[in-house]
Amino acid sequence: MEWLIAITIGTLTTAGVYLTLRARTFPVVVGLTLLAYAVNVFLFAMGRLTIGQPGVIDAEALGYADPLPQALVLTAIVIAFAITAFLIVLALKSSGELGNDHVDGLTVDSDEEVTRLKGTNS
Amino acid sequence: MMSLTAVPLLIPLVMSFILLLARMQGIQLQRVLNLIVVTLLIIVSSVLVNNSLTGEYQIYLLGNWQAPFGIVLVLDQLSAMMLLITSILALGALWYAIKTKIDENGSHFHVLFQLQLFGLNGAFMAGDLFNLFVFFEVLLLASYGLILHGSGAQRTKASLHYVIINLIGSTLFLFAVGALYGILGTLNIADLANKIAILPAENQAVVAAAGLLLLVVFGIKAAMFPLYLWLPAAYANTSAPVAALFAIMTKVGIYSIIRVHGTLFNEDAGELAFYYLPWILALGLITLVLASLGVMAARGLREQVAYLVLASVATLLIGIGLNSPAALSATFYYLIHSTLIAGAMFLLADIIAKGRGALEDKFISAPSMPSAILVGSIFIFAAIAMTGMPPFSGFLGKLLILSAALDHAWFGVVFAVILISSLLLIIAMARSGSLLFYNTQTVTTETTQTGKPLNKSALMSVVGLLSAAVILVVFANPITDYTQQIAQQQFNSSNYIQAVLSATAITE
């Protein structure tokens, strides 16, 4: 199970970092979401992986699953969720005001420049 | 007994909701309430600073759970000082926003303003890493709203960068928190320091990595090289009172480095003792060089002030990196100075931009602005304070840092960088001042769009914040005594650890 979790976190982080480095806002938002998923799984696993243990101490059971990381993850999920929602609205606002969805907010001139350069190349 | 410790948190939190409801009665009520609350916060923080003079740690256990099991708020001299600076700066920014009616440009300026103060005060008092993260998020969410306040394509573009880089920072913060918890099994700063002192050698690498990851996170907040690129655009394009309030935001990063790294990796931490310091010193020096080049290259006054903020942050990082009680004391003195003066500079830049009409704050020769002599005199005063020329507090702060650097192995580099960068700042400010105020054109009829007349009551907050430069010099002796006390308290982190962990729950 440790291998599976480790590979999952690694894959999510790699994909997240790759997408965050893209030039347009939509992949960046998706990338940040994937990074948030990765960190949530990571935080969760930091309480060590256990199976069939009670969440908080139980007189009958021999051990317990660490409840603290679960509480941390809940907080982190809520915060990441709220900020992602905010970021999506901001990305829409920026594409409305700047006329394109580039993170660096290319002006109309530079957009035309790009098309012109592409035209001469092909 | 009623404890005052939690009050700086409760007031802004409760008031932000009341202000939301007060909106139905119109913005006038919101303004009055907000002004009263910020004044109240200044009074409360002054009382707390006064209480902290004895060197006692004021600790508040939330829900009466003993540390390290519950959430704990710790108020020592450093936190109390930060609270006081925040509330004074907030009053200046708020007064300016009200007098220039900038708060009417969007919906919830006053609500976000209070939430921002809530996040800032919480970050200065959090006793464990996860609550530091939560308060970071609170202050960031409020700042996202504030930085977008008003409108404009440039502002949206700069805000998008600001939000994305801070979101990445939050993710890294959680990775660091998770790694520390996974190894040490606690998140309370005092408890973490104890656990690190007895850390087995095979786990040291992970903890060291998590510590440097935290340094990256705080470096994003503090705008440390190479993580500062978001700052100039974001600060230059937002509205003036927000930029002024954000002068404290970079200091949150500085504070967190002093608090978290200074406590976790203190002299008891074995192999890990102060392992982060060479990074801070070197990156601080590089940041200072690049910031002074940025000040030289800026094309508008607000951009220039943003780079000046960066230069002051770099100076603070150097102060931390020198790592002696004298250097830390000088850092705190410079922190008070640079926060208040930078806030005043942002407001002044806005006044100048408004007075120049269509050209705003661009460094292009234009017709003379209304009340140019008064504004120009204040600009000279502010520029002298900001660049660190005598007789004002910037000079004294830099002098203290330089004299603390004398014993350090790197003192040659530190001296060269600080002095040369100061020279560059002085040249740049002299150039922009003469361009804005002396090199004016005679008024021709059709090309000029005259700016608005000077808003005298808004200028009050600039003058008020700038008076700090004089007060800090006149009362330099008691203030440096106080900063020395703070530095001593910060260096004896074992007292902090003991005070937090031995705080007992209140029994009825």
Q: Write out pLDDT tens, residues A93-103.
A: 888 888 778 88
Nearest residue to B419 (alpha-carbon basis) of B288, B280, B277: B288
Distance, CA of A61 to CA of B183 (rounded, Å): 25
B281 CA to chain A: closest CA distance, Å? 29
Q: From A76, which residue of chain B is nearest by alpha-carbon distance?
A: B174
Contact between A32 and B177 using a beta-carbon 8 Å cutoff = no
Helix, strand, coil % over all residues of chain A, rounded to 5 = 70, 0, 30
- What's residue B388's pLDDT? 85
Q: Name the residue ranges covered by the structural domains of chain B.
A: 7-502
pTM as predicted: 0.91
Number of helices (H), then strands (E), in chain B: 21, 2
Burial group, residue A88, by CB count within 10 angstroms (0-12, 13-18, 19+): middle
- Assign domain A2-121 to its CATH architecture: Orthogonal Bundle (1.10)
Q: How many helices (H) and strands (E) does chain A have?
A: 4, 0
pLDDT value, residue B293: 94
For residue B258 the two structure tokens come to 């002093």
Using DSSP's 3-state secondary structure scheme, residue B396 falls into helix
Domain ranges of chain A: 2-121
Instruction: End-to-end CA distance of chain B: give it in Å, rounded.
Output: 10
pLDDT number for residue B267 = 83
pLDDT at B67: 77
| Contact of B492 with B485, CB cutoff 8 Å | no
Q: Which residues of B touch A45 (CB under 8 A)?
A: 182
Per-residue pLDDT, A27 = 92
Residue with tokens 């519950």: B70
- Nearest alpha-carbon partner for B150 in B195, B100, B191, B192: B100
Give the tens place of pLDDT for each residue, A59-100. Answer: 777 777 888 888 899 999 999 889 999 999 988 888 888 877
- CB neighbour list of residue B276: distance below 8 Å, 6 or more residues apart: B211, B212, B215, B261, B265
Contact between B110 and B51 (Cβ < 8 Å): no
Q: Is the per-residue pLDDT at A115 higher than 90? A: no
Q: Please give the average pLDDT of every successive group of 10 residues along chain B, which has 508 residues.
A: 78 91 86 92 92 85 82 90 94 92 85 93 91 93 89 84 92 93 90 89 90 93 89 89 92 93 86 88 94 92 92 93 90 93 92 82 78 88 88 88 89 92 93 84 57 81 90 90 90 86 75
The pLDDT confidence band at residue A122, using thresholds 50, 70 and 90, is very low
Among A25, A97, A100, the residue to mutate for chain B (most B Cβ within 10 A): A97
**pLDDT value of position B54:** 84
Q: How far is A102 from chain B (nearest CA, A)?
A: 9
Which amino acid is located at B389 in the chain? M
